[in-house]
Amino acid sequence: MKIALINENSQATKNSLICETLRKVVEPMGHKVFNYGMYSAEDVHQLTYVQAGLLTAILINSKAADFVVTGCGTGSGAMLAANSFPNVLCGLIVDPSDAYMFGQINDGNAIAMPYAKGFGWGAELNLQYIFEKLFEGERGLGYPRERAVPEQRNKRILDDVKKVTHVDMLTILHNIDQEFLKQTISGERFQEYFFANCQDEAIATYLKAILA
Protein backbone atom coordinates (compact mmCIF):
# COMPACT_ATOMS: atom_id res chain seq x y z
CA MET A 1 0.00 0.00 0.00
CA LYS A 2 1.21 3.52 -0.83
CA ILE A 3 0.52 5.74 2.19
CA ALA A 4 0.81 9.51 1.81
CA LEU A 5 1.44 11.86 4.72
CA ILE A 6 0.24 15.48 4.48
CA ASN A 7 0.65 18.16 7.15
CA GLU A 8 -0.91 21.62 6.99
CA ASN A 9 0.92 24.76 8.10
CA SER A 10 -0.22 25.09 11.72
CA GLN A 11 1.16 21.64 12.59
CA ALA A 12 4.10 21.41 10.19
CA THR A 13 6.65 21.25 13.02
CA LYS A 14 5.33 17.80 13.92
CA ASN A 15 5.83 16.34 10.45
CA SER A 16 9.09 14.56 11.22
CA LEU A 17 7.69 12.91 14.36
CA ILE A 18 4.54 11.75 12.56
CA CYS A 19 6.47 10.49 9.54
CA GLU A 20 9.06 8.65 11.63
CA THR A 21 6.34 6.95 13.69
CA LEU A 22 4.27 6.06 10.63
CA ARG A 23 7.24 4.51 8.84
CA LYS A 24 8.29 2.61 11.95
CA VAL A 25 4.87 0.96 12.10
CA VAL A 26 3.89 0.38 8.46
CA GLU A 27 7.11 -0.32 6.59
CA PRO A 28 7.63 -3.70 8.33
CA MET A 29 4.11 -4.54 7.09
CA GLY A 30 5.26 -3.96 3.49
CA HIS A 31 3.69 -0.53 3.01
CA LYS A 32 5.57 2.50 1.66
CA VAL A 33 5.25 6.04 3.01
CA PHE A 34 5.46 9.15 0.83
CA ASN A 35 5.89 12.33 2.87
CA TYR A 36 4.32 15.23 0.93
CA GLY A 37 5.02 17.72 3.74
CA MET A 38 4.77 20.32 4.98
CA TYR A 39 8.17 19.55 6.46
CA SER A 40 8.56 22.67 8.62
CA ALA A 41 6.74 25.88 9.42
CA GLU A 42 9.30 27.71 7.26
CA ASP A 43 8.52 25.81 4.06
CA VAL A 44 8.25 28.10 1.06
CA HIS A 45 5.10 26.31 -0.10
CA GLN A 46 2.50 26.52 2.64
CA LEU A 47 -0.54 24.23 2.88
CA THR A 48 -3.79 25.09 4.65
CA TYR A 49 -6.09 22.34 5.86
CA VAL A 50 -8.31 23.02 2.83
CA GLN A 51 -5.34 22.42 0.55
CA ALA A 52 -4.52 19.27 2.50
CA GLY A 53 -8.02 18.08 1.60
CA LEU A 54 -7.54 18.93 -2.07
CA LEU A 55 -4.14 17.23 -2.17
CA THR A 56 -5.67 14.17 -0.48
CA ALA A 57 -8.31 14.00 -3.20
CA ILE A 58 -5.74 14.37 -5.98
CA LEU A 59 -3.65 11.51 -4.59
CA ILE A 60 -6.60 9.18 -3.98
CA ASN A 61 -8.39 9.83 -7.28
CA SER A 62 -5.23 9.48 -9.36
CA LYS A 63 -4.21 6.36 -7.40
CA ALA A 64 -0.87 7.99 -6.63
CA ALA A 65 -1.68 6.94 -3.04
CA ASP A 66 -3.90 4.23 -1.62
CA PHE A 67 -4.29 5.88 1.78
CA VAL A 68 -3.67 9.38 3.17
CA VAL A 69 -2.77 10.38 6.71
CA THR A 70 -3.45 14.07 7.31
CA GLY A 71 -4.76 16.35 10.02
CA CYS A 72 -4.73 19.84 11.53
CA GLY A 73 -5.04 21.39 14.97
CA THR A 74 -8.30 19.62 15.82
CA GLY A 75 -8.46 17.24 12.86
CA SER A 76 -11.98 18.39 12.01
CA GLY A 77 -11.05 20.93 9.34
CA ALA A 78 -8.84 18.51 7.44
CA MET A 79 -11.52 15.81 7.67
CA LEU A 80 -14.24 18.12 6.35
CA ALA A 81 -12.03 19.37 3.53
CA ALA A 82 -11.05 15.85 2.46
CA ASN A 83 -14.64 14.58 2.53
CA SER A 84 -15.81 17.42 0.29
CA PHE A 85 -14.15 15.65 -2.65
CA PRO A 86 -15.18 12.52 -4.60
CA ASN A 87 -13.96 9.03 -3.66
CA VAL A 88 -12.41 10.20 -0.36
CA LEU A 89 -13.68 8.64 2.87
CA CYS A 90 -11.83 10.40 5.67
CA GLY A 91 -12.34 9.65 9.35
CA LEU A 92 -11.51 11.80 12.37
CA ILE A 93 -9.15 9.67 14.47
CA VAL A 94 -8.25 10.58 18.04
CA ASP A 95 -7.24 7.28 19.63
CA PRO A 96 -6.45 3.65 18.70
CA SER A 97 -10.03 2.44 19.10
CA ASP A 98 -11.15 5.12 16.61
CA ALA A 99 -8.54 3.82 14.18
CA TYR A 100 -9.55 0.19 14.59
CA MET A 101 -13.28 0.78 14.23
CA PHE A 102 -12.84 3.19 11.30
CA GLY A 103 -10.79 0.56 9.50
CA GLN A 104 -13.18 -2.27 10.28
CA ILE A 105 -16.54 -0.49 9.95
CA ASN A 106 -16.02 2.36 7.48
CA ASP A 107 -13.01 1.01 5.55
CA GLY A 108 -12.06 4.51 4.43
CA ASN A 109 -8.98 5.68 2.58
CA ALA A 110 -7.89 8.69 4.64
CA ILE A 111 -7.70 9.83 8.24
CA ALA A 112 -7.44 13.27 9.82
CA MET A 113 -5.87 13.60 13.25
CA PRO A 114 -5.76 16.39 15.87
CA TYR A 115 -2.12 17.42 16.14
CA ALA A 116 -2.66 20.29 18.60
CA LYS A 117 -5.61 19.28 20.78
CA GLY A 118 -4.48 16.70 23.33
CA PHE A 119 -1.10 16.27 21.63
CA GLY A 120 1.10 16.24 24.72
CA TRP A 121 3.09 13.76 26.77
CA GLY A 122 3.03 10.33 25.16
CA ALA A 123 1.75 11.69 21.83
CA GLU A 124 4.20 9.56 19.89
CA LEU A 125 2.84 6.45 21.62
CA ASN A 126 -0.72 7.39 20.69
CA LEU A 127 0.42 7.84 17.08
CA GLN A 128 2.13 4.46 17.12
CA TYR A 129 -0.88 2.63 18.54
CA ILE A 130 -3.25 4.38 16.10
CA PHE A 131 -1.15 3.37 13.10
CA GLU A 132 -0.87 -0.19 14.38
CA LYS A 133 -4.62 -0.58 14.80
CA LEU A 134 -5.34 1.12 11.48
CA PHE A 135 -2.97 -0.76 9.20
CA GLU A 136 -2.45 -4.21 10.71
CA GLY A 137 -4.51 -7.03 9.27
CA GLU A 138 -7.42 -6.88 6.86
CA ARG A 139 -9.74 -3.88 6.99
CA GLY A 140 -13.50 -3.76 6.37
CA LEU A 141 -14.29 -6.95 8.30
CA GLY A 142 -16.86 -5.23 10.52
CA TYR A 143 -17.04 -4.54 14.23
CA PRO A 144 -18.52 -6.25 16.08
CA ARG A 145 -18.21 -9.16 13.67
CA GLU A 146 -21.90 -10.03 13.85
CA ARG A 147 -22.57 -6.61 12.28
CA ALA A 148 -20.25 -7.25 9.35
CA VAL A 149 -22.88 -7.82 6.65
CA PRO A 150 -24.97 -4.65 7.25
CA GLU A 151 -21.82 -2.57 7.78
CA GLN A 152 -20.31 -3.73 4.50
CA ARG A 153 -23.65 -3.04 2.78
CA ASN A 154 -23.77 0.48 4.22
CA LYS A 155 -20.21 1.14 3.03
CA ARG A 156 -21.21 0.19 -0.53
CA ILE A 157 -24.28 2.43 -0.28
CA LEU A 158 -22.11 5.35 0.87
CA ASP A 159 -19.71 4.79 -2.04
CA ASP A 160 -22.66 4.87 -4.46
CA VAL A 161 -24.10 8.01 -2.85
CA LYS A 162 -20.78 9.83 -3.24
CA LYS A 163 -20.74 8.96 -6.94
CA VAL A 164 -24.05 10.79 -7.31
CA THR A 165 -23.30 13.77 -5.06
CA HIS A 166 -19.82 14.58 -6.45
CA VAL A 167 -18.54 15.44 -9.90
CA ASP A 168 -15.39 13.71 -11.12
CA MET A 169 -11.96 14.87 -9.97
CA LEU A 170 -10.77 16.12 -13.35
CA THR A 171 -13.79 18.42 -13.62
CA ILE A 172 -12.99 19.75 -10.15
CA LEU A 173 -9.39 20.42 -11.15
CA HIS A 174 -10.58 22.39 -14.19
CA ASN A 175 -13.11 24.43 -12.21
CA ILE A 176 -11.28 25.12 -8.95
CA ASP A 177 -9.30 28.33 -8.51
CA GLN A 178 -6.18 27.61 -10.56
CA GLU A 179 -3.77 29.57 -8.38
CA PHE A 180 -5.09 27.72 -5.33
CA LEU A 181 -4.52 24.43 -7.18
CA LYS A 182 -1.01 25.42 -8.22
CA GLN A 183 -0.09 26.37 -4.66
CA THR A 184 -1.44 23.02 -3.46
CA ILE A 185 0.76 20.96 -5.79
CA SER A 186 3.92 23.09 -5.60
CA GLY A 187 5.41 21.32 -2.59
CA GLU A 188 9.08 20.38 -2.53
CA ARG A 189 8.60 16.69 -3.41
CA PHE A 190 5.18 16.65 -5.06
CA GLN A 191 6.47 16.16 -8.60
CA GLU A 192 9.00 13.52 -7.54
CA TYR A 193 6.42 11.40 -5.72
CA PHE A 194 3.23 12.11 -7.64
CA PHE A 195 4.25 11.59 -11.24
CA ALA A 196 6.11 8.38 -10.39
CA ASN A 197 2.97 6.89 -8.82
CA CYS A 198 0.01 8.50 -10.60
CA GLN A 199 -2.15 6.04 -12.54
CA ASP A 200 -4.50 8.55 -14.15
CA GLU A 201 -2.95 10.00 -17.29
CA ALA A 202 -5.55 12.74 -17.68
CA ILE A 203 -5.00 14.08 -14.16
CA ALA A 204 -1.21 13.86 -14.58
CA THR A 205 -1.32 15.74 -17.88
CA TYR A 206 -3.48 18.49 -16.45
CA LEU A 207 -1.33 18.98 -13.37
CA LYS A 208 1.85 19.08 -15.47
CA ALA A 209 0.29 21.94 -17.44
CA ILE A 210 -0.59 23.76 -14.23
CA LEU A 211 2.98 23.43 -12.96
CA ALA A 212 4.59 24.39 -16.27
This prediction's pTM: 0.96
d(CA 191, CA 159): 29
Cis peptide bond upstream of 144, omega within 30:
yes
Chain segment 85-124, per-residue pLDDT in tens: 999 999 999 999 999 999 999 999 999 999 999 999 999 9
* Domain residue limits, the chain: 2-211
Mean pLDDT over residues 29-50, rounded? 96
What confidence tier does 38 reach under pLDDT thresholds 50, 70, 90? very high
Chain segment 179-206, per-residue pLDDT in tens: 999 999 999 999 999 999 999 999 999 9
Give pLDDT, residue 65. Answer: 98
Q: What percent of the chain has pLDDT over 70?
A: 100
Per residue in 9-41, is it b (16+ CB within 10 Å) or e — as a string? bbbbebbeebbebbbebbeeeebebbbbbbbee
Give burial (CB, 10 Å; 0-12/13-18/19+) of 150. exposed
Which amino acid, 16? S
What's the chain's length in residues? 212
CB atoms within 10 A of CB 82: 29
For domain 2-211, which CATH number applies: 3.30.565.10, 3.30.1330.60, 3.40.50.720, 3.40.1400.10?
3.40.1400.10
Give pLDDT, residue 162. Answer: 93
